[in-house]
Amino acid sequence: MTGRGRKKGEAIPQGVVGRLPVYFRYLSELAALGVDKVSSAQLGEALDFTAAQIRSDLSYFGSFGQQGYGYNVAELLQQVRQILGMNRRHSLVLVGAGNIGKAIGSYEWFRAEGFVIEAIFDVDPHLIGNIHGGCAIRPVSELKQYLLKRPSDVGIIATPKDAAQEVCDVFVECGIKGIWNFSPAQLDVPDDVIVENIHLTDSLLRLAFRLNEREQRSGF
C-alpha cells in the first residue's frame, strides 16, 4: 500500500511532477466517460508514455493498482487529486485585468476545482470597480494592504513585463508562497517561494525552432 516507501523524503523529480497533471487530465476524461478500469499499458498508449514509466511515477506515492487487474479509474483519479494537493481550497489573487487576466479570471474550471480568485487588481483607473467573475477590480495600490488582511495561497501576475517584479515583491513580502507568472519577466524570489511560469513567447519560439528543424530535415 505504501509503494516506493524507501524514497520517502526524497524530492520528486521534475519529470514526474510534469506528468502528474497529464495523468489527472486523462483520468478525468475516462471517469467522465464512465470507464472504470485502466491498465498502465492502456494509459501509456493513450498518453504516449511507456507503461513502465507510469507505474514508476505512481510508485513514488504509493501502490494504487492491483495485479492482474490494473487501476480503478475513480480511485486512481482520487489518489492523483490527493497527490496534487487538490483536496483543499486554494485562494488566489490576480494582478492585471487585461486580456490575459480576464481569460484566467473567467476560466470556470479553476473555481470548480477549488482554485478561487478572491480579488483582482489593476493599475488602470478606468477598470476599478468593474465586476469580473464576481470580483470587483481594485486599485493595485491597495494590494499590499489587502494581502496583509487576507493572506492568499497563490498570486497571479498578469501584468506587462515592467510591472512584474514589483508585484512579485509585494506578493513575497505579504507571505505568498506560490506565484503563477504570465509575464515574460524572469522573477527573482527567495528559495522558499515557488514560481510557475507561463512564458508564451518561449512556447512560440520552441514551436518555431522545431518547425525550422523539421524543414531542414526534410527540405533538402
Query: Which residues would be at the binding site for its own copies (CB under 8 A)?
Result: 11-12, 17-18, 20-22, 24-26, 46-47, 83-86, 90, 98-100, 102-104, 106-107, 109-110, 115, 153-154, 177-178, 180, 184, 186, 192, 194, 196, 198-214, 218
Which of the listed partners (DNA, its own copies, none) does 141 bind, with a CB threshold of 5 to 8 Å by partner kind? none
Under 8 Å between Cβ of 56 and 81: no
Q: Compute φ and ψ for 202, nearest 5 degrees.
A: -60, -40
Which of the listed partners (DNA, its own copies, none) does 52 bind, with a CB threshold of 5 to 8 Å by partner kind? DNA
Which of the listed partners (DNA, its own copies, none) does 31 bind, with a CB threshold of 5 to 8 Å by partner kind? none
Which of the listed partners (DNA, its own copies, none) does 128 bind, with a CB threshold of 5 to 8 Å by partner kind? none
Question: And the C-alpha cell for 30?
Answer: 475516462
- Which is closer to its own copies, CB of 59 or CB of 67? 59
Q: How many chain residues interact with DNA (CB under 7 A)?
A: 30
Rounded to a whole number of angstroms, the minimum distance from the CB of residue 181 to DNA is 22
Rounded to a whole number of angstroms, the minimum distance from the CB of residue 100 to its own copies is 4
Please state, in angstroms and rounded to a whole number, the distance separating the CA atoms of residues 13 and 137.
38
Alpha helices in the chain (DSSP H): 14-33, 40-47, 51-58, 73-83, 99-105, 108-112, 143-149, 161-173, 200-219
**Other beta carbons less than 10 A from residue 22's beta carbon:** 15
Q: Which of residues 16-45 bind DNA (CB under 7 A)?
A: 16, 39-41
Burial class from Cβ neighbours inside 10 Å (0-12, 13-18, 19+) for residue 77 reads buried
Please state, in angstroms and rounded to a whole number, the distance separating the CA atoms of residues 117 and 109.
12
Binding footprint of DNA on the chain (CB under 7 A): 2-6, 13-16, 39-41, 49-53, 55-56, 58-59, 63-71
